Chains A and B, each alone.
Chain A
Amino acid sequence: MNKLSIEINNKSFPEITGKAAFTAIENLHFDIENNEFICIVGPSGCGKTTLLNIIAGLDEQFSGSIKFNHANNSIKASYVFQTPRLLPWRTVLENIQLANEHEDVSLAKIEDLLNSLGLKDNLNSYPHHLSLGMQRRVALARAFCVRSDILLMDEPFVSLDQPTARKARALLLDLWAIEPRSVLFVTHDLNEAIELADRVLFLSESPTHIIADINITIPKDERTTHNINEFKERLKTKNPKIHHLT
């Protein structure tokens, strides 16, 4: 059992010319259980991306710690950004291979993964020749191919149309079932969060902290639009604090 504990006491951005100093995150603490799917919902500009960047190790200027409860090794994260962030001068296959530290991941595994994402004919395509939806799926494949302790997702399905986004969510859950790992999924869409998550964390305006930590009690296979809406209504009446987020 490997619990990941996130303890951020303070994350501020120093004053730069034209911009006042700014505290983004204050006293934000939570644990992630092994293979738990957590969604993070919060108002825009509240520091959700900052939080993910800290966990990914991209931002080391904060006070606090990100560590495993029972191990000292560093955290390996894979990250699906808001934009696909593929290298345009490398093919789909090369993009995925490059993200694998030792490049020992077998071609068959990558092919399988791309196959299940409907990209089996695009192994050697360059990202410029793919649609945005396809590029996002490649980014998803890249994140799942890498062996990681935690998968960070920063509104990965934003700007996709509804049917495509729904399909992408289904694919994400399928992949997660095949390659389980802890997931931290940032979104501003509560319906999306309820559909996907085991647990939803609600964040405040900055300086950000957690205002509610809700377990989604609907079984995974019963998360229909109707049930999701019902759950959302109950949530609203029980938690007036998060009213503005729903």
Chain B
Amino acid sequence: MPRSSFLNSTLSLSLLLLIWQIIALIVASPVLPTPFEVLNNLSSSIQSGELLQHLGITLYRLAISFFLAMFLGVAIGLMLGRQQKTNAFFDSWLIILLNVPALVTIILCYIWFGLIETAAIFAVVINKLPNVIVTIREGARNLDEELIQMAKAYRFGRLKTLTHVIMPQLYPYIMASARTGLALIWKIVLVVEMLGRSDGMGYQIHLFFQLFDITSILAYTVSFIVVIQLIEMTILKPLDKKSQRWK
């Protein structure tokens, strides 16, 4: 009988924890706490409310910059993918944006706009945006011209063409950039918080680093992984399923 995927992932996670536990016992050093110590720390940080507060503010920043980057990225990517001349003109901008180190954009944003919330979110969006644009542009180039012609022949109009003909074709590309985007954005949000905010996960982790509190760093990391997994399971997977029902 094939094992269920749930059982499979539980087994594989347990193995990881076991390896961690063994290594921690062998090393027996304060810089590598055991999984139990991390779990303990996690539950006490949750109870004190400290973790939830910082996690909340980080998730808030993540959500805003995620939606901004996705919305702008889809719009710009679609335009560049459909208009060859515009694309040829702006292609070099995109390459520059893709290759400026995240750290540089973050620092520049803080210097130019000050250590404010807007600068933090703007820096995250600027880092994520080029990736979304490139993915969506690829999708826009592969749109089915025959269906677009059909839409034109039957006078669908712009809005109907966009929602019923173009978006369903871009959907796999949007999902792909949403998945990679989520992973990338939360990494960048932490750096942004570390460099210029006085709350959020990044700020806290930086603090723990100065205190050499590895257990807390790991506890915060675990909490974040759990949240991302929850987003994947409760939002992204069902969305995938719903959009694939015609296949």
- Chain A positions within 8 Å of B, measured between CB atoms, are 53, 56-58, 76-79, 81, 83, 85, 87-90, 98-99, 101, 126, 128, 142, 146
**How many whole Å from B160's CB to the nearest CB in chain A?**
7
User: At the interface, yes or no: B47 with Cβ under 8 Å from chain A?
Assistant: no
**Cross-chain contact A78 with B165 (CB below 8 angstroms):** no
Query: What is the number of contacts between chain A and chain B, taking CB atoms within 8 Å?
Result: 46
**How many whole Å from A62's CB to the nearest CB in chain B?**
16
Which single residue of chain B is at the shortest CB-CB distance from A126?
B246
Q: Which residue, B146, B153, B165, B243, has most C-beta atoms of chain A within 10 A?
A: B153
**Cross-chain contact B147 with A87 (CB below 8 angstroms):** yes
**Complex formed: what's the CA distance from A59 to B165 in Å?**
20
**Cross-chain contact B154 with A58 (CB below 8 angstroms):** no
**Complex formed: what's the CA distance from A56 to B152 in Å?**
9
- Given known A-B contacts A58-B149, A128-B246, A128-B247, A90 and B154 have beta carbons under 8 A apart: no
Contact of A87 among B152, B153, B164 (CB under 8 A): B164
**Cross-chain contact B154 with A88 (CB below 8 angstroms):** no
Which single residue of chain B is at the shortest CB-CB distance from A79?
B153
**Complex formed: what's the CA distance from A90 to B167 in Å?**
12
**Cross-chain contact B152 with A58 (CB below 8 angstroms):** yes
Contact of B150 among A76, A85, A88 (CB under 8 A): A85
**Cross-chain contact A89 with B168 (CB below 8 angstroms):** yes
Q: List 28 A-B contacts (CB under 8 A).
A: A56-B153, A57-B153, A58-B153, A78-B153, A79-B150, A79-B154, A81-B146, A81-B149, A81-B150, A85-B146, A85-B147, A85-B149, A85-B150, A87-B164, A87-B168, A88-B246, A88-B247, A89-B168, A90-B164, A98-B156, A98-B160, A99-B154, A99-B156, A126-B246, A128-B246, A128-B247, A142-B154, A146-B154
7 other contacts beyond A57-B153, A77-B153, A83-B146, with CB at 8 A cut-off?
A57-B152, A81-B149, A87-B165, A89-B168, A99-B154, A128-B247, A142-B154
Prevailing SS type, chain B contact patch: helix
CB-CB contacts below 8 Å: B3-50 with A: none
CB-CB contacts below 8 Å: B152-195 with A: 152-156, 160, 164-165, 168
What total of chain B residues lie within 8 Å of the partner, measured CB to CB? 16
- Given known A-B contacts A87-B164, A90-B164, A128-B247, A101 and B155 have beta carbons under 8 A apart: yes
Task: List chain B residues, Cβ under 8 A from A99.
Answer: 154, 156
Task: List chain A residues, Cβ under 8 A from B247.
Answer: 88, 128
Q: Which residue, B155, B156, B165, B247, has most C-beta atoms of chain A within 10 A?
A: B155
**Complex formed: what's the CA distance from A98 to B157 in Å?**
11
**Complex formed: what's the CA distance from A101 to B246 in Å?**
24
Task: List chain A residues, Cβ under 8 A from B152.
Answer: 57-58
Task: List chain B residues, Cβ under 8 A from A85.
Answer: 146-147, 149-150
Q: Can you list the 8 inter-chain pairs with the closest CB atoms, starting with the nearest?
A: A99-B154, A79-B153, A126-B246, A85-B150, A89-B168, A89-B246, A56-B153, A85-B146
**Complex formed: what's the CA distance from A89 to B244 in Å?**
8
CB-CB contacts below 8 Å: B92-112 with A: none
**How many whole Å from A138's CB to the nearest CB in chain B?**
12
**Cross-chain contact A78 with B154 (CB below 8 angstroms):** yes
**Complex formed: what's the CA distance from A126 to B147 in Å?**
16
**Complex formed: what's the CA distance from A142 to B149 in Å?**
15
Task: List chain B residues, Cβ under 8 A from A98.
Answer: 154, 156, 160, 164
Which single residue of chain A is at the shortest CB-CB distance from B146?
A85
CB-CB contacts below 8 Å: B118-175 with A: 146-147, 149-150, 152-156, 160, 164-165, 168
**How many whole Å from A81's CB to the nearest CB in chain B?**
7
**Complex formed: what's the CA distance from A53 to B165 in Å?**
19
Task: List chain B residues, Cβ under 8 A from A58.
Answer: 149, 152-153
**How many whole Å from B175's CB to the nearest CB in chain A?**
14
Task: List chain A residues, Cβ under 8 A from B243.
Answer: 89
